[in-house]
Structure 1
Amino acid sequence: MVDTHAARVTPEAGSAPGPSEGELFKKILGAAWQGLHADIRRRFDKNPSPGKALHYRGTLSELRCSRFGRLLGHLTQPLIQGALIPYSDADFPVEIQVYAKPGDPAIYKQRIYRLHGRRPIQFTSFMRESERGEVLEYVGMGLGMKLVLSVENGSLHFRSDGYFWQLFGWRLPLPGLLTPGKTFLWHHNETPERFNIRIEIRHPLMGTTFTQVGVFEEVSAPRMIDTHLLALQLMAAQGALGAFDTLYHHEGTEALPRRASAGRELAIHATRSSIYCLLFIGLSSWAWHGAWAWVLLAVFGVEIVLTLWDFVVEDRSRLLPATERVTHTVLAINAGAFIALLALAAVGWAAEPTALAWQPQGWLGAFLALCGVGVGVSGLRDAFAARALLRRRRQARVRETEAPVRFGARPRRVLVTGGTGFIGQILVRHLLADGHAVTVWTRDARAAAWNFGGAVRCVQSLAELPAAEEIEVVVNLAGARILGARWSERRQRQLLASREGLTRQLVEWMAARPRKPWLLLSGSAIGYYGVQPQGDATALDEDAPPQDIFMSRLCQRWEQAAQAAVALGVQVACMRFGFVLGHQGSLPQLLLPVRLGVGGRLGSGRQWLSWVHVHDLVRALAHAWSRIEREAGTPAAQAFNVTAPQALSQHDFTRVAASVLHRPCWMPTPAAPVKLLLGEQADLLLEGQRVVPARLQREGFAFMFPDARGALTDLCRPR
């Protein structure tokens, strides 16, 4: 009988395959082993190695259970499905597979019973030698029994000698009345290839409760796919494709951490990434047995729900580009495939004792673990980004409530170019909050309408605007990104076309309309003033002269194209923007080395940096609009410097940023490689201008963020 006291289980060491059944039975039976029929000895001496199972096929001529057995089988089915079959049947096929696992000394047996008119019943048990030299067979959920072996007339007999429940490494004996009863098994040889089996389970009070009788023979192994390995390979593909999606789409083209509407999507991504981190690392070298299998199935369920929720949130908040839509579809199909395969494996794992079984997968396991670390880092990034976006939204709501931006005295019909850009998106939202009807002229009207939640009319051609419809104000912010590819002749033509060319097209459209807008707010830049010698602290106001270099000529021609609208009776205000500080634009790239702790001066560091907080920029647009509306004078062109009153040197600005971010400021970047890389464009970084907002200050405009520390604190550490 099993000892009446709990026995501590000592884990077996080593990673080599365990002994065959024959070696185990020979050790237990001793001299009696030789009394077995030679075919039986030969059969049990075959040792299944990992990945090379032994296969048997046969027919059960009798499957019978008593009423008590039927009740017991139904009650235990959720825990040890297939161990006690609660049905009676006859002459149906059965398949048996005997196999081993890497690093596991146990011998596993999987049986598939194909009863008539019922779904196949699968039952897996495993046999191993205890630390005391006993033969133990586990039937699921830690339930097992000790087996006593004997030889009678050349046949092998098994008899159970007590049941136990293995829990947290301890074997706890179970009273006989609370078990199915004693199990008796006879293995009798018929031919070298055929043998018959008879199994009876006898309860001390209820008599014989279960009976199985059948004939079996060994068959060649069917060509099967290792579904567990295939699932892990699909997971590896998921990790690689997910990394591409994160880096190219989420961080690159879509810039989700800087997209105001992406907070909920990022929160879902952070949760899903934590789940994938657990799955990648947990499945890289372990099998989840027993209760852990149910945990794994629950995790799969949560992941499926989160994936569906993510689809809904994405479709509500933004229009996915084609490449991202295709990538997400492939990821969803691939995830469904490996989850289905692992779920099938988990059903078998659930029948084994609760443990995280070590099953190393070599380089595949190492790659999966690496994917787990990567997706975990990505999840932390998304979590912090989601928290920052939540704070920004809360901050923006408070700001709009306490100090709303007012554009003029009454609502107007406004046309905005560049409305999907960094500044344009913020401006459009403020215009909508102030009650204006906004139309955005953009290259992708569908994506823009999606981005603004349908609150804005978006057109791809000015011809789509009816001539009879009055457009009262035009805000022109369109223009290709100035900092990027070298200013070759082709690139210069592109920059001129996106600013001067588009503005001329806009003025020509105004001229063709029967009712002209009364105001044009047209973007420009402080590059109008060229470059200022380093060490020269002269303040440049709106009357300072331009220079004959490309950045200055670009701004001059841009403004001249806008000023042509004066002849149409339109008031024109050219807004010369400084370096705009916001969550998008160039500031995140400028702050990246500072965040990484390697910020410092760029070139000499003495070049002036005239900057403005994006909220003050929007307020300056509203100020110019409202003042021109109040004065209602003769149409004229005016210029406004939109910069904060306190310009800094580049080095001082970087030191302030490092102080706000609690980082050092120590690593200089030499000017030579920057000039070599960017050519004339390097002047944007290595030279500067000390520009002052003279007109705004004369007119009483009060900056909300007059100093760089306050502006950077607002953007980098929102409350």
Structure 2
Amino acid sequence: MENPVLWTLISIQIFMGLYDTLVHHEGTERLAWRASQKLELRLHGVRNFFYALIFLCFAWMEPHGAFAISLGFVLLAEVIITLWDFVEEDMTRKLPWTERINHTLLTLNYGAILAFLAPVLWHWSLLPSAIIPVSYGWWSAMATVAALGVAIFSARDLLAAARSDRIGLADPANLAEGLPSPQHVLVTGGTGFIGRRLVEALVSSGHHVTVLTRDLRNADKLAHPVRVITNLDRIHASDRVDAIVNLAGDPIANGLWTKKKRDRIIKSRVEMTEALHKVVKRLEHKPECLISGSAIGWYGLRGEEVLTEESAPAPAFTHEVCDRWEAAANQISAENIRVVVLRIGLVLGVDDGMLARLLAPFEFGGGGTMGTGRQWMSWIERDDLIRVIVHAMADESLKGSLNATAPEPVRNSEFTRDLASALHRPAFLHFPAWLLSALLGDMARETMLGSVRVAPRRLLDRGFEFHHPELGPMLEKITGSTHAKTPRLDRQEHAVV
């Protein structure tokens, strides 16, 4: 098979497949952590196994007779699995346009490979059955590396498929217990990580939900039935709105904090909240409450200090963002509306957010502590946050600021250890503070290296029960870990309430 054109086509197939796996399957789509893609993962696993066999055969063997016929069946099986995979993908998820184009190119290129290979296989099949050792120099080396790579991803996809049943989400209707039904709820930021789950919980419990989104394409991810609008002008004075949940805002930790980015972070929150104020003023039936987002960044960077709702802030950009957002929300209380401001910690879930971005690096052994590892991380599991939001909507006596964090914050070193343990991986790397600061500037210093040790004092005083108060057991639960963690004796340091 000393055909440079054929080997060039095989090389193109390898690199397009690598791009598809890393950019789409592991990157934008994160298939390994989507329980809905169980069958797709199995198809990928089997197909990659066949690819590993094909690449090794091309690299070092010339199959004759029955072995050539067997190779032909493997190539045909790969075509059948790929067609099945295309149907499954279209039925279960919306593919990015880049993935669709890449799939088309992979299919055309594979067809060209088969066209060049067919006469060769026909000739080999007519020879006496034998496997002839061959070598094509660096072509063989490249194919061997490719075989090893697809074999690794074959095992990963098959294991991820087996894990899918263990990472399925809980019944969303249970998250909205205690909220009188039916409520008419307006949700801004309803297509985001938190908003999608909140909408799912409300709709599943029989409530009527209107979602404001800037991009209608994101509405495909929402539970239905739901009303979707792109402009608050669609809310008429006669519309009934019983509650507003305001979660909209430009992401704060997805890039450098340039002046333009800082302005966008603040304006997106303040202007949306002011627009909601205008809506409330014209509504004939005023909502009973506004539940508005904020963040624990309101407190600034406070080191070891335990922070409750009564604690004073320290200067920081995150404080400026949250302070202006909260001030805009509190203005709405002048309309005789109960306002609750949620100071939200790091929201953890496997399908989006900060934790989701860490799963693949940790799974491949790239996990590690940031800076000294001594900085406190105040976190909350996503479903617990949805329950906090519902609790704030239902409790008519609750108003003002509310810390939405789990009762046991952890240090970054413990977060790293617990996540690595849940994924059965080592985490021995260390990312020095100077490197993170050099790469990401103030964003790293305030969100990754800064220490904020928050206590949900008001929630606990009111008897709110967290389903996930401790980080380690929570990570094992939501990542589908196969082992149970025994309680540790070092929890006394973490208790802050």
Q: What is the TM-score when the length of structure 2 is the normalising length?
A: 0.87
1:568 corresponds, among 335, 351, 354, to: 335
User: How far did residue 650 of structure 1 move?
Assistant: 2.5
Aligned counterpart in structure 2 of residue 691 of structure 1, from 454, 457, 482 = 454
Contact 2:175 2:386 in 1 (8 A): no
**Greater share of strand:** 1
Match of 2:485 in 1: none
The answer to whether the Cα contact below 8 Å between 2:422 and 2:481 also exists between their aligned partners in 1 is no
Kindly indicate whether the alpha-carbon contact (under 8 Å) linking 2:167 and 2:477 is maintained by their aligned counterparts in 1.
no
Q: What secondary structure sits across from 1:438 in the alignment? A: strand
Query: Residues of 2 paired with 1:624 and 1:667: CA distance?
Result: 40
- The equivalent position to 1:327 in structure 2, one of 102, 109, 121, is 102
Aligned partner letter, 2:402: F
Equivalent residue letter for 1:695? R
Compared CA separation, residues 571 and 289, structure 1 to 2 (3 A): farther
Report the CA distance between 1:291 and its aligned residue: 1.8
Distance 1:299 1:455 in 2: 45
Q: Is the 8 A contact 2:203 2:224 kept in 1?
A: no
Question: Which among 207, 214, 219 is matched to residue 443 of structure 1?
Answer: 214
> Are 1:647 and 2:417 counterparts?
no
CA contact (8 A) 2:212 2:230 kept: yes
Match of 1:546 among 309, 313, 321: 313
Match of 1:338 among 110, 113, 131: 113
Alpha-carbon distance in structure 2 between the residues aligned to 1:314 and 1:454: 21
1:706 to 469, 472, 476: 469
Residues 238 and 661 of structure 1, relative CA distance in 2, 3 Å threshold: closer
Cα distance between partner residues in 1 of 2:158 and 2:215: 30
Aligned residues: 480
Structure 1 residues 669-719: Cα deviation after superposition (integer angstroms, max 9, x where no partner): 432233333332212222222211111111110111112222222133446
Contact 2:172 2:197 survives alignment (8 Å): no
Q: CA deviation at 1:282?
A: 1.8
Alpha-carbon distance change, 470 to 230 in structure 1, aligned in 2, over 3 angstroms: farther
Structure 1 unpaired stretches of 5+: 1-100, 103-225
Q: Which amino acid aligns with 1:320?
A: L
When residues 495 and 299 of structure 1 are mapped into structure 2, their CA distance, relative to the original with a 3 A threshold, is: same
- Equivalent in 438, 442, 453 of residue 676 of structure 1: 438
List aligned pairs for 1:210-249, cutoff 5 A. 230-249=5-24
Write the letter of the residue equivalent to 1:254: E
Show the counterpart of 2:164. Answer: 389
Contact kept in structure 1, 2:200 and 2:223, CA below 8 Å: no
The 3-state SS of whatever aligns with 2:293 is strand
- Choose the corresponding residue for 1:355, options 85, 109, 130: 130
Find the residue that maps to 2:100 and give its secondary structure.
helix
Residues 609-629 of structure 1: CA distance to partner in whole angstroms, max 9, x if unpaired? 21112221111112112223x
Contact 1:547 1:553 in 2 (8 A): no
Residue pair 1:475, 1:522 contacting (<8 A) in 2 also = yes
Question: Structure 1 residue 574: deviation in Å?
Answer: 1.3
Q: For the residues of structure 2 that align with 1:453 and 1:300, how far apart are their CA atoms?
A: 40
Q: Percent identity?
A: 38
1:52-63 equivalences under 5 Å are none
Whole-Å separation in 1 of the counterparts to 2:360 and 2:76: 38
One-letter amino acid of the structure 2 residue matched with residue 423 of structure 1: I
Whose relative contact order is higher, 1 or 2, with alpha carbons under 8 Å and at least 6 apart?
Answer: 2
Task: Note the C-alpha offset of 1:552.
Answer: 0.5
Q: Indicate conservation of the 8 Å contact 2:55/2:147, yes or no.
A: yes
Q: Which structure has greater helix proportion?
A: 2
> Which of 485, 491, 499 is 2:261 aligned to?
491
Which of 70, 94, 97 is the equivalent residue of 1:295? Answer: 70
Question: Residue 380 of structure 2 aligns to a residue in which SS?
Answer: strand
What CA distance in whole angstroms lies between the structure 2 residues aligned with 1:640 and 1:372? Answer: 53
After TM superposition, give the deviation of residue 637 of structure 1 in Å. 4.7
Alignment of 1:469-484 (within 5 A): 469-484=239-254
Counterpart of 1:545, as a letter, is A
Query: How does 1:372-387 map onto structure 2 within 5 Å?
Result: 372-387=147-162
Query: Which residue is 1:606 aligned to?
Result: 374
The AA in structure 2 aligned to 1:503 is T
Q: For residues 561-610 of structure 1, what are the alpha-carbon distances to aligned partners after superposition, in whole Å with 9 as ceiling and x for unaligned? A: 22233233433221111122221311244566665667555333332221
Q: 2:490 is matched with which residue?
A: none
Structure 2 CA distance for partners of 1:568 and 1:270, relative to 1, 3 Å: farther
Q: Contact (CA 8 Å) 2:243, 2:393: kept in 1 or not?
A: no
User: C-alpha distance in 2, partners of 1:688/1:378?
Assistant: 37
Task: Assess if the C-alpha contact under 8 Å between 1:266 and 1:385 holds in 2.
Answer: yes
What residue in structure 1 maps to residue 400 of structure 2? 638
Q: In structure 2, give the amino acid aligned to 1:542.
A: E
**Alignment counterpart, residue 620 of structure 1, candidates 373, 376, 388:** 388
CA distance, structure 1, for counterparts of residue 134 and residue 413 of structure 2:
55
Once the 2 structures are TM-superposed, how far is the Cα of residue 521 of structure 1 from its aligned partner?
1.9
Mapping of residues 253-264 of structure 1, within 5 Å:
253-264=28-39
TM-score for both structures, normalised by structure 1: 0.61
2:187 aligns with one of 413, 416, 419: 416
Give the Å deviation of 1:662.
5.0
Inter-CA distance 471–256: structure 2 relative to 1 (3 Å threshold): farther
Q: What's the offset of the Cα at 1:311?
A: 1.9
After superposition, the CA RMSD in angstroms is: 2.8
SS in 2 for 1:439: strand
Q: 1:102-159 deviations in whole A, cap 9, x for unaligned?
A: 8xxxxxxxxxxxxxxxxxxxxxxxxxxxxxxxxxxxxxxxxxxxxxxxxxxxxxxxxx
- Does 2:292 match 1:530? no
Distance 1:404 1:518 in 2: 20
CA contact (8 A) 1:407 1:625 kept: no
